[in-house]
Amino acid sequence: MAFFDFFKKNKKTSEPEQTSPLAEELEAEEAETEDEEEEEEEQPEAEAPVYDDTEDIEEVLPVEYDSENGVEPEEEEEDREPVEETAEEGEEAEEAEEAPDTEAEPPKEEKQGFFAKIKSGLLKTRNNIMSGIEQVLNGFSEIDDDLYDELEEALIMADIGVDTSCEIIDRVRKLVKEEKVKEVREVKDLIVRVITDMLAQGDEPLELESPSVLLVIGVNGVGKTTTIGKLTSYYKGEGKSVMLAAADTFRAAAIDQLMVWGERSNTTVIKHSENSDPAAVVFDAVAAAKNRNTDILICDTAGRLHNKKNLMNELAKIARVISREYENAHKEVFLVLDATTGQNALQQAKLFKEAADITGIILTKLDGTAKGGIIIAIKNELQIPIRFIGVGEGIDDLRPFNAEEFAKALFES
């Protein structure tokens, strides 16, 4: 027992001596292993690019990266240069655009005026007339009857009308004989001269006395109310006082349309309710114009056809009211015609002339048609003065007709 007790005692006392170094050694190895693992785990965090020095950052990041601005410097320079060049080019372009405009404006204003507007507005008509004449003349080498026949046909096709075209060619024949013209190209100048003489025949400027009454008539759609608005602007520009009578009580919104024109030009409009008696409107307008000493009273009327007897009778009634109530006033009856209708405009003028005492014609929409040659036929066949022509939509695009100026604009290339 003592032996075993001794052995056990020695074993207990010797075990710590034997295991302790090994444990320590194992613990040391485990500690070293853990330290290495911790170092490996901590190493990426320690090597993360948290730098205060800019040079270190530029070494880690791409060379083209600008650490201060956060952009790539080469791309920034490439972006900036074209912007600066574009701005400079834009400024130069603007200066280049402004310079010619500024220089061109004064002569443009001198050159333009109404003559330039007429010339521009008659471009289609001029091409329609002159292209046909040129085409005929190019096909002949001598002046003969066939040439005259071809020219007559070309004028008819240009909406100058049969009777007027025949008369033009007859006059040209006489001039060729009188002046002994031999060259085909000279016939063109003779045609231009004859047409100019036709337009200038009986061309006297209209001078309205005060007081005056203008009765504006025509078929539907020719632009009577718009023409009245432009006439108002023109006469007010001449320093005259104007009053309007809304005697078109038949067409829907006709009164409202005239009211709008009155507001634009600050002009008084005398009106009744829709479908009221037009003669009653004119009666009240005459009384108002007399009381206010108005220079010009312009009366709008409903669109009517010559074959509508009741409407023509209504027109006659309005005329009687004006004559009875305003005896000392100067009276004009203006027929408004749409130039785009060509020969129809001529027929309208003929038939209205039979039913009413027309003293002047206003030809509108000359700028939008190639049928402006109808003005030559109207002037020659009806012997009614052309008082105004419209060559645009602007309020100032309605002007008194000047035959010499019109002919020059029509044939001058």
Distance CA 387, CA 360 (A): 6
| Residue-by-residue DSSP string for 188-221 | HHHHHHHHHHHHHTT-------SSEEEEEE--TT
Token pair, residue 326, equals 């305003």
> In which order are the strands placed within the sheet that holds 398-400?
268-270, 242-246, 296-300, 212-217, 330-338, 360-364, 386-390, 398-400
Reported in sequence order, the residue ranges of 250-349 that DSSP labels E, i.e. its strands, are: 268-270, 296-300, 330-338
Residue 399 sits at φ, ψ, to 5 deg, of: -135, 160
Token pair, residue 245, equals 């009578």
**Which residue type, as a one-letter code, is found at position 75?**
E
- Our measurement of the distance from residue 255's CA atom to the centroid of its chain's CA atoms, rounded to an integer in Å, reads 26
**Which residue type, as a one-letter code, is found at position 77?**
E
Distance CA 265, CA 82 (A): 52
| Residue-by-residue DSSP string for 217-271 | E--TTS-HHHHHHHHHHHHHHTT--EEEEE---SSTTHHHHHHHHHHHTT-EEE-
Strands 398-400 and 386-390: antiparallel
Which pLDDT band, with edges at 50, 70 and 90, does 262 fall under?
Answer: very high
| Residues with Cβ within 8 Å of residue 204, at least 6 apart in sequence | 385
The mean predicted confidence, pLDDT, of the chain is 78
Mean local confidence (pLDDT), 119-128:
84
Distance CA 304, CA 233 (A): 25
Distance CA 339, CA 337 (A): 6
Please check the confidence at residue 231 and state whether its pLDDT lies above 70. yes
Token pair, residue 311, equals 């409407």
Cα three-residue angle 202-206-209, rounded to 5 degrees: 140
Token pair, residue 136, equals 């005929």
Least confident window among 82-91, 285-294, 315-324: 82-91
Residue 211 sits at φ, ψ, to 5 deg, of: -90, 160
- Closest by alpha carbon to 190, among 413, 411, 395? 411
Asked if 172 contacts 390 with a C-beta cutoff of 8 angstroms, the reply is: no
Please check the confidence at residue 46 and state whether its pLDDT lies above 50. no
Write the pLDDT tens digit of every residue in 126-145. Answer: 888 888 999 999 999 899 99
Write the pLDDT tens digit of every residue in 1-32. Answer: 444 454 444 444 444 444 455 556 556 666 66
Please check the confidence at residue 270 and state whether its pLDDT lies above 90. yes
Write the pLDDT tens digit of every residue in 198-229. Answer: 988 877 788 888 999 999 999 888 889 999 99
- Please state whether the peptide bond connecting residue 82 to the residue before it is cis, i.e. omega within 30 degrees of 0: no
Q: What is the 8-class DSSP label of residue 71? A: S
CB atoms < 10 A from the CB of 91, how many? 10
Write the pLDDT tens digit of every residue in 356-410. Answer: 889 999 999 888 777 888 899 998 898 888 999 988 888 888 988 988 888 888 8
- Closest by alpha carbon to 353, among 319, 384, 386? 384
Write the pLDDT tens digit of every residue in 140-189. Answer: 989 999 999 999 999 999 889 899 999 999 999 999 999 998 899 999 99
Q: Give percent of the chain above pLDDT 90.
A: 38
Asked if 244 contacts 231 with a C-beta cutoff of 8 angstroms, the reply is: no
Q: What is the 8-class DSSP label of residue 142? A: S
Write the pLDDT tens digit of every residue in 287-317. Answer: 999 999 999 999 999 887 766 777 778 888 9
